[in-house]
Chain A
Amino acid sequence: GAGVSQSPSNKVTEKGKDVELRCDPISGHTALYWYRQSLGQGLEFLIYFQGNSAPDKSGLPSDRFSAERTGGSVSTLTIQRTQQEDSAVYLCASSVSGSNTDTQYFGPGTRLTVL
């Protein structure tokens, strides 16, 4: 499809394991965002990629969280040594250029459950 896709849609893991979440942005969009949505909460900004610039990592909650964006397209969010409090829906969004007037298009999210 033409929208933002994310995989897997659901991930159940054991505490202490590492997980990788994938985001395929809309083709041609240079800006990519990761957010975390905990139950009953709004979206919490995690990280932002814009073209070849250094990513804005100011929202990452700890050094267990990291993200990469290869070739300016697909992005992977990695959570190492998962904890129960990491359980949430992880949403990815992309926009044309990252301007504050650009619409962010969201993927359906990955629901992560840490047992």
Chain B
Amino acid sequence: GQQLNQSPQSMFIQEGEDVSMNCTSSSIFNTWLWYKQDPGEGPVLLIALYKAGELTSNGRLTAQFGITRKDSFLNISASIPSDVGIYFCAGLHTGNQFYFGTGTSLTVIP
């Protein structure tokens, strides 16, 4: 299937720092999604992007749909301890089959 390269794999940051992670694909996507997964739970949708170049914010989170439609990034500003978790990107070309990245594990040190 399609491969989404998500980086970095893991991050250890101090509380208050900003975080940036990204996803790249060899294929064009029409939708990009960013999810957060806490231990023992299913992923929860953070931000959805539907148009190339779109920049969307949700509180301290900002995500962009790359202009080439082959990448997306997620920024978290002023990180707090509850931001800890695994962040996944997901892309959709057509149909209903979403392809997920391998995740970025975020640890916030108080």
Contacts and interface: CB of A to CB of B under 8 A. Distances in A.
Quick one: which of A43, A50, A109 has the most chain B CB within 10 A?
A43
A56 B96 contact: yes
Contacts of B103: 40-42
B4 A107 contact: no
B110 interface: no
Interface stretch (A12-20, A62-70, A74-82, A95-103): A95-103
A91 interface: yes
Contacts of B40: 108-109
Nearest to A101: B50
A43 B102 CA distance: 8
How many chain B residues sit at the interface, stated as a range, is 20 to 34
Contacts of A43: 43, 88, 90, 98, 100
B30 A100 contact: yes
> Which range holds the interface residue count of chain A?
20 to 34
Contact of A109 (B42, B45, B88, B97): B42
Contacts, number: 64
A98 to B, nearest CB: 6
Nearest to A41: B102
Contacts of B90: 42-43
Nearest to B100: A42
A104 B101 CA distance: 16
Given A42-B100, A42-B102, A100-B92, A106 B43 contact: yes
Given A100-B30, A100-B31, A101-B50, A45 B43 contact: no
A59 interface: yes
Interface of A: 4, 31, 33, 35, 40-45, 48, 50, 56, 58-59, 91, 93, 98, 100-101, 103-109
The 3 closest A-B pairs by CB, nearest first: A106-B42, A42-B100, A43-B100
